[in-house]
Amino acid sequence: TKIKRNGIPLVIKENGHINTHNTHNISHTMKEIALLGSNGPVFATVLSALLKAGHDVCAYTTEPTKVMLDTTNVTIEELKTATKEETREELEGYATVVAAYETNFQDVANNDFILRTYSNTVNAAIEAGVKRLIVVGNPDSEAFFRGELRRHAGLIDANFISTEGDYAAKVVDEI
């Protein structure tokens, strides 16, 4: 099924994934960046910055149909986080993964998402052979995010970036 969003042809693949490229068989390259997160301002800001910097991005998100695009160097996929194995399969072949976590502590669903998926995401990235993991999150949660990264020191090159200031530019600088 082909649809357009913001004038860009989209391909809805049989598995429900949305691809902005003109073919059904696009595989990611080691230069492509995987961006993980729920559809919120942190995810959108990081995605925009990566695209503006010229990176090819595969954006894995909880609600792919809500991502509004104005470029063709992005692929949108549904983020599957039910198990570590699902996440590992999604991350295989990526050198760089950015996990963008929303910062609204009042959002119970978002907080549940973070608590349910964060440890599995870090472990899945390691098992998938990811070289660089960048975690973006609320400064008040820094100890939580850094604690999991410290447990895996030496297994993956990882960094935490606080959502204070121009965090999106910091993500681009880290890549």
Q: What is the pLDDT along the chain (175 residues), one digit of tens a residue?
A: 233 333 344 443 444 444 444 332 334 444 589 999 877 889 989 999 999 999 999 999 888 888 777 667 888 888 887 788 989 999 999 999 999 988 777 778 777 878 888 889 999 999 999 999 999 998 988 998 999 999 988 899 999 999 999 999 999 999 8
Provide the whole-model pTM: 0.79
The CA distances from residue 174 to 82, 98, 104, 157, in Å, are: 28, 10, 24, 11
For residue 4, what are the contacts with CB-CB under 8 A and spacing of at least 6? 10
Q: CA angle, corner 148, sides to 142 and 152, nearest 5?
A: 135
Report how far residue 136's alpha carbon sits from residue 120's, in angstroms, rounded to the nearest whole number. Answer: 16
